[in-house]
Amino acid sequence: MLKDKRKTYHHGDLRTALINAGLIELEEKGLESLSLRSIAGRVGVSHTAPKNHFDGLRGLLTAIATRGFEMHSQEMQSGVEDQPPGKARLHAACNGYVRFALANPQLFKLMFSRTLRDRSNPDLQRAAWASYSVLRNIAHGLDWDKADASGGPWRTEWMLWSMVHGYAMLLIEGEIKSNEDGTPIFEAAALLPDFDYREEDLASMPPPFEGQKDVGH
């Protein structure tokens, strides 16, 4: 009765236990020195036990990254829903993007590391796309000063994404200095150009990266 795992299996729900332990170890030890053995050890199983649930370390990292994208989506979405449609939501989404990165720096870096995770994993792709869509859906209504000029509709969302992602990265890596409590000196939204905002339909938007229709590169 001490250990009440309600699972029917051998030892319990090792899969999610490993992901949870991985999330903790990740921020504790850092992405670089994270080890499969220490994650397994934290759960109390041998270092080869994860093999039954994940395709090696890479597979576990992929699952952790997937969880990360789900958290990322939620962090942005929660801030967005409080705000009225328009510029306020855009600002909330951008601030949420950066807030998540600063709260989970190692996880954030893992999520965007091409080599450490398995990008062909469908769950990961779904979660990553959902996360990006929060930003994308809000960005679509924007009418940007140069929007009619050179490029297709991707230009505005890539510009937004680049800005907010770069700001998060530079803050995490300590290149841009932040307040003593870790919060950025400028909110992400303070770096944005002063967009005009207009509502439009979302129909004719192509995907911004290899996701959805384009799944599997």
Binding site for DNA (CB under 7 A): 8-12, 14, 34-38, 40, 44-49, 51-53, 56-58
Residues in region 11-30 near a copy of itself by CB under 8 A: 30
Report the C-alpha gap between 27 and 110 in whole angstroms.
11
Contact criterion met (CB below 8 Å) for 109 and 31: yes
Cα–Cα distance list, 162 to 79, 88, 117, 157 (Å): 20, 19, 21, 8
Asked whether position 147 contacts a copy of itself by CB under 8 A, the answer is no
Report the C-alpha gap between 16 and 32 in whole angstroms.
22
Q: Select the residue interacting with a copy of itself from 185, 196, 197, 205 (CB under 8 A).
A: 185
Adjacent-strand bridge partners of 178: 184
Asked whether position 112 contacts a copy of itself by CB under 8 A, the answer is yes
Q: Which two tokens stand for residue 88?
A: 């306020």
Asked whether position 35 contacts a copy of itself by CB under 8 A, the answer is no
Of 119, 123, 97, nearest to 108 by C-alpha is 97
The length of the chain, given as a count of residues: 217
Adjacent-strand bridge partners of 142: 197
- The residue (of 20 and 137) whose beta carbon lies closer to a copy of itself is 137
- The residue (of 34 and 139) whose beta carbon lies closer to DNA is 34
Asked whether position 89 contacts a copy of itself by CB under 8 A, the answer is no
- The residue (of 31 and 189) whose beta carbon lies closer to DNA is 31
Q: Select the residue interacting with a copy of itself from 137, 170, 197, 205 (CB under 8 A).
A: 170
Q: Select the residue interacting with a copy of itself from 24, 190, 202, 215 (CB under 8 A).
A: 190
Q: Which does 140 bind (CB under 5 to 8 A by kind): DNA, a copy of itself, none?
A: none
